[in-house]
Amino acid sequence: MLSSKYKPYHVPLFLGKYAWLTMRRRPVLVHFEVTMRCNARCGFCDYWKTPADEKNNELKSFADAARFFNPMVVTFTGGEPLLRRDLEDVVSSVRDAISLKYVTVITHGGMLNKERATSLWKAGIDQFSISLDYLDGRHDVARGIPGLTAKIMATVSDMRAAGIHGIRFNSVIKNDNLDQLLPLVHRAAELGAGVNFSVYTDFKNGNERYLLQNGYADDVERVIRELLAYKRKRRGIITNSDYYLEQIPRFLRGEMKEPCQSGLRTIHVNPTGHVKRCPDFPTDFHWTEFKQYEKIDCDRCFYACRGEAQAPLRLSRVRDVLA
């Protein structure tokens, strides 16, 4: 889903850069973890336990790393990236370091408002990915931020009114929100936003409470059929590829044997500039000492970043982008 900053003629340019990076075995997507600090209290993540003084170790600029990798897609993530008061400077320096790119930021939305969104939009953010797993009070409880869901809805409306179009919800598919997935899509459509789904994993801190692997595959497959039916009628709201959604039941049933391409198509650079193949793996080296990764036989997760890296470049994916 391109933001309003891009036009259809940009699509072949992006496809060309994708092919160039793939031929050179360079990452297409680089996640810059600009901080590991977070002010949410998610039960499936321990980033909120990061000491406040860790901000003293965070790089002031990721521009050199961005210039070195020259990816097609950049994501600013954390932790909660909006905790960085200098995030606009970090974003603009990376924007200026790369020739052709699509820039996103992932946030829980609790610190986002129209003014901050506008300044980040001007700094170079093309897409705001706001975490949202439920449309009711369960999301507030899950994130440990009272009133968060209502704030997100109000902020998205304000952003759209301000002319910011690159907005989508990042929704994690869990065993207790299967009834929320299609309603989330409908709400996103009403707001002029999109939705990107990813499968829950206990890889971060061992919390098995929300796992889908134990008896939920059939229920998930039914919901996936509904999502695909919606997606094929109305492209551009659900931003996952058809392939990723189709493969989720296979993963849950333990049928997926394809090696993971994390480290090849996607990498993570942590706040000190050290590289890891996956958000839940330890770091391997500083970006200045980067060595190309190989495929890995790991099935601990089926995050969207893993599944989309495996996805073939179908015509349906081009239609998604154009939509």
In this prediction, residue 311 carries a pLDDT of 78
Tell me the residue type at 146.
P
* Residues forming beta bridges with residue 32, ordered by sequence position: 76, 269
d(CA 306, CA 254): 15
In this prediction, residue 204 carries a pLDDT of 85
> What one-character DSSP code corresponds to residue 184?
H
CB-CB contact of 84 with 93 (8 Å): no
- Residue-wise pLDDT for 267-291, tens only, equals 999 999 999 999 999 999 999 999 9
- Residue-wise pLDDT for 259-269, tens only, equals 998 999 999 99
CA atoms within 13 A on the CB side of 284: 17
**pLDDT beyond 90 at 316:** no
In this prediction, residue 244 carries a pLDDT of 95
- Residue-wise pLDDT for 141-197, tens only, equals 999 999 999 999 999 999 999 999 899 999 999 999 999 999 999 999 999 999 999
- Residue-wise pLDDT for 193-249, tens only, equals 999 999 999 988 888 999 998 889 999 999 999 999 999 999 899 999 999 999 999
In this prediction, residue 89 carries a pLDDT of 98
